[in-house]
């Protein structure tokens, strides 16, 4: 699909379609055979306005005025607020007949908490046979959007495990993010949900970003810029154009990821599942860096850190309206609750007792996870395909092997391999090591926020690759 955006009321997920009427901005109400998902009491309304600049680019400036950095700016006019409410994006309850499933394009393993022995740290392990599958699909419902491409996520129904809570939690998190006035351009857009024939839960997303960062990193590793030169007339102007283009692509990924995380934190949400597979790109062609879109997905383990939630107001899943799920009264292990309880257990062990301390600990934990992703993006893309640079290895390097000395010992470790010479020089030139050490600091209180990371010199550097090329 084309990435062109119309100033008229069109959905970003389905560009190129005829504009819809002003009294039906999202178009789904007329096109679907179902009903809009109603929101539970005491929770953000799914039908609230959405200030997503991807959907409505003319409202970027209005959304910026509401950010904490611009609180002194004048409030939006009444007409502007009404237009924001009119341009809402409903989360739809589809029927099975509304969706045509095409082919599987990916899968994600579900994990449960495993209390290890005293000699090692606890860890999450895969649940046998429990896999979240990703499919491409089309909207088969009649109307203007018939045949529009979507991405489908299937949560399995597995006896003995409560996976419906993960689906509910993800829907709730997207509902809160999409109902917010904050910028949601860097978070995947959830269009709706429906239940399968055997109890599985399906989530329907827009198809603007489909390539996981892990997929791009694998491709980049195979075609290292040190080994392969794409000669052209532009090479005469910039002999290092491939390397500079790669650096611009990496910076776009990092900036988009941090912006998405900052948006979640502004909405009192923690991601808690950040990794190379939870960040998706609109393209893996580095020549298309100018129009690259980066979005966060996988909000199934997200945690609410609003004051009401941390003071006993309930979790996102508990706020979501009760539906007739087959495992609604399941009394066994709840994966999502186990994950959240582990977060607060670690917060308590770190000395957190008040609401603000727990919230800040959760934010710092997200920054740590994203710091590992930053390392993965930078070093995996520069490594040889045979070099093991997965998240488990990086976490061991950060926590054990080179704990507290990323900028010295880890740098010296990489310096012995000539494959990373250009990458090391790039990080040296723009204080990249300082950014990594800050995000991965052993003391959670010393870690910066996502907004602070965006202001770091490494992410503010002047690009040597010009998009016009």
> 212-225: per-residue pLDDT in tens?
999 999 999 887 64
Q: Find the range with the poorest average confidence among 1-10, 213-222, 315-324, 404-413.
A: 1-10
Q: Does the pLDDT value for residue 242 go beyond 90?
A: no
* Neighbour-count burial of 61, counting CB atoms closer than 10 A to its CB (0-12 exposed, 13-18 middle, 19+ buried): exposed
> 436-446: per-residue pLDDT in tens?
999 999 999 99
Would you state the pLDDT for residue 385?
A: 83
32 falls in which pLDDT band (50, 70, 90)?
Answer: very low
Strand order in the sheet with 279-281: 211-212, 279-281, 294-296
Would you state the pLDDT for residue 141?
A: 78
> 316-373: per-residue pLDDT in tens?
554 554 343 334 444 555 778 888 889 999 999 999 988 899 999 999 999 999 999 9
Would you state the pLDDT for residue 233?
A: 53
CA distance 334 to 312: 18
Would you state the pLDDT for residue 387?
A: 82
CA distance 384 to 387: 5
> 148-180: per-residue pLDDT in tens?
899 999 988 776 565 778 889 999 999 999 888
24 falls in which pLDDT band (50, 70, 90)?
Answer: very low
4 falls in which pLDDT band (50, 70, 90)?
Answer: very low
Cβ atoms 448, 457 nearer than 8 A: no
Residue 151 β-bridge partners: 136, 205
Residue 281 β-bridge partners: 211, 294
CA angle at 103 for the pair 36 and 178, rounded to the nearest 5°: 30
CA distance 173 to 299: 7
Residue ranges in 41-157 assigned as alpha helix (H): 60-65, 78-86
Q: Does the pLDDT value for residue 39 go beyond 50?
A: no
Q: Does the pLDDT value for residue 414 go beyond 50?
A: yes
393's tokens? 């290895």
> 66-76: per-residue pLDDT in tens?
444 444 445 54
Would you state the pLDDT for residue 107?
A: 83
């Amino acid at each position: 699909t084309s990435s062109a955006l119309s100033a008229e009321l069109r959905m970003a997920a389905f560009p190129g379609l005829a504009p819809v009427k002003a009294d039906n901005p999202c178009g789904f109400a007329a096109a679907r055979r179902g009903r809009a998902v109603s929101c539970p009491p005491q929770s953000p309304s799914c039908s609230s306005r959405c200030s997503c600049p991807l959907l409505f680019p003319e409202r970027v400036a209005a959304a910026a005025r509401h950010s904490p950095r611009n609180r002194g700016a004048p409030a939006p006019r009444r007409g502007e607020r009404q237009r924001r409410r009119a341009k809402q994006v409903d989360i739809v309850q589809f029927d099975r007949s509304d969706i045509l499933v095409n082919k599987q394009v990916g899968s994600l393993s579900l994990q449960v908490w495993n209390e290890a022995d005293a000699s090692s740290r606890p860890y999450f392990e895969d649940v046998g046979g429990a896999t979240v599958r990703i499919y491409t699909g089309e909207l088969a419902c009649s109307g203007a959007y018939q045949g529009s491409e979507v991405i489908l996520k299937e949560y399995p129904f597995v006896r003995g495990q409560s996976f419906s809570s993960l689906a509910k939690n993800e829907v709730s998190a997207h509902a809160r993010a999409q109902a917010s006035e904050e910028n949601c351009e860097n978070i995947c857009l959830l269009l709706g949900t429906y239940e399968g024939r055997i109890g599985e839960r399906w989530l329907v997303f827009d198809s603007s970003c489909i390539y996981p960062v892990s997929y791009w990193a694998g491709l980049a590793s195979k075609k290292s810029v040190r080994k392969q030169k794409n000669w052209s007339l532009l090479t005469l102007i910039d002999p290092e154009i491939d390397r500079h283009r790669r650096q611009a692509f990496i910076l776009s990924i990092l900036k988009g990821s941090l912006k998405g995380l900052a948006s979640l934190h502004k909405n009192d949400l923690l991601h808690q599942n950040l990794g190379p597979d939870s960040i998706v790109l609109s393209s893996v062609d580095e020549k298309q860096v100018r129009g690259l879109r980066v979005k966060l997905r996988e909000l199934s383990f997200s945690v609410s850190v609003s004051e009401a939630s941390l003071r006993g107001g309930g979790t996102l899943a508990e706020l979501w309206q009760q539906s007739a799920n087959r495992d609604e009264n399941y009394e066994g292990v709840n994966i999502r609750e186990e994950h959240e309880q582990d977060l607060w257990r670690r917060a308590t062990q770190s000395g957190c007792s008040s609401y603000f301390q727990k919230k800040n600990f959760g934010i710092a934990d997200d920054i740590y996870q994203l710091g590992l992703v930053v390392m993965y993006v930078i070093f995996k893309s520069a490594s040889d395909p045979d070099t093991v640079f997965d998240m488990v290895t990086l976490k061991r390097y950060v926590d054990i092997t080179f704990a507290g000395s990323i900028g010295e010992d880890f740098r010296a470790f990489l310096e012995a391999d000539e494959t990373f010479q250009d990458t090391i020089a790039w990080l040296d030139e723009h204080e990249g090591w300082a950014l990594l050490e800050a995000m991965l600091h052993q003391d959670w209180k010393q870690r910066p926020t996502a907004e602070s990371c965006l202001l770091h010199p490494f992410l503010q550097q002047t690009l040597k690759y010009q998009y016009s090329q």
